[in-house]
Amino acid sequence: MKARVANESARKPMNRIRETEAALLTGSPDPNPNNGVKEEEIRELAFQLYVDRGRIEGQDLQNWLEAEAILREKGKMAA
């Protein structure tokens, strides 16, 4: 039980770091802006970007943010 609590505590700072990275990369004060884009759509496009780029590990955040930006822009163009 103590190991689980320690692991959860260790994850919190990493989540904050990722949220900060996301905010810096997108220029958004909100690291999780939705703007009508569904998480499943982002996940699928991020995976496609990963595959298209040769399945290079360690680029998950960049792929996710790019997928989110692409879908957000696509939504603006359709509106």
| Residue 55 to residue 58: CA distance in whole angstroms | 9
Residue 70 and residue 78: Cα distance in Å, rounded? 12
Q: Which residues of the chain have pLDDT under 70?
A: 1-20, 22-36, 76-79
* Residue 25 structural domain: 2-78
Q: How far apart (Å, rounded) are the C-alpha atoms in residues 67 and 54?
A: 16
- Does the predicted TM-score (pTM) go above 0.75? no
Q: What is the count of structural domains for the chain?
A: 1
What are the tens digits of pLDDT across the range 32-51?
555 567 899 999 999 999 99
